[in-house]
Structure 1
């Protein structure tokens, strides 16, 4: 193994550790080498190894277990990772978030309809049913279940990058999604649009699912924009 020679040793070492996990085929929950073993392997000082591993811990790629060792974390296989330090968004940033979703999610809905993966679609249906229960009972976590629905649709495409992208949006912008639902002000209409999208995906109607998702998100953008201007958006 070649020694690490780049100026930012901890960043380079973090990359090497990620590659080592992949090369060994380690799965979530499996242990990796000790700090001292890694220091010897990569010919760097122990403090440098600790710094690199803490970076990976912050990303959820590694987990430190006191008295036990270092283990592969739940984000080790993720292709898109969240920056959880983002500050809360203002209305302009909420619009930008929705506009980004407007570019991505209609295509996701179309791919999910084309993939027509029965187990994945069952999860979509179950999540929609949970959203309806939240709506009927006035549960405060409706916004969270709504995002779970969008995540489930992304996973139904069978495309890991799209799934990770929606997971990341949910993780980073969870509070923002709650604010979007509050500003939207009509959770029943929101649910009905979700129901229509899911029905089209289940029917294998890719074009219809794409158009329905586009209309759904476009309506939400219009409503959020209207809160910025203090009146109805046209």
Structure 2
């Protein structure tokens, strides 16, 4: 089993055993999207949605199949997951696009885009933006604001630090959570997760990122909070 397969196996086990509350996340995401759609004019154009870090769509696919979208674009840095996402979604009555790419580059408008990238209606990202540095998150929020229609919606699911909590403290707290409550993962899988979060995760401070987002032109609302003071979902709309 190669490195990606090992990492993916660990991820799938986390989802299967709901260790990061993916089921609750899916329910909260559905509630946010359906509430927003319910407020749109009945004669309006069907919304275009972009999903940054779409993964394999294991939990989001049932929701996407019933949403009245105009188009869906799934973007992920790992090209190998895109066929899995396409298979999970299956046939839908709107165009779908699958793109290997970086979410920050997408927000900024990479060279593959048209000179004036088309604005979208729904932006979604789950457990991906926390890999950006604080400066990159600020850049992303400013750029993504410009790629969304004025009446659009941004659903951001991620891990976050408590206000004032240092990254090192957060990592220690999460590692303890894994050791004490993730027995459904093998010791090797637990270590894969610990290695990843210790090396790559840069979760934002909840209070600081809200301030950063508001300065970038967003209204911010916490729509769901997980049970472990880490996973959460924010709903952002253009100010």
TM-score (norm 1): 0.23
Q: Which structure carries more helix by proportion?
A: 1
TM-score (normalised: structure 2): 0.22
Question: Comparing both structures, which one devotes a greater share of its residues to strand?
Answer: 2
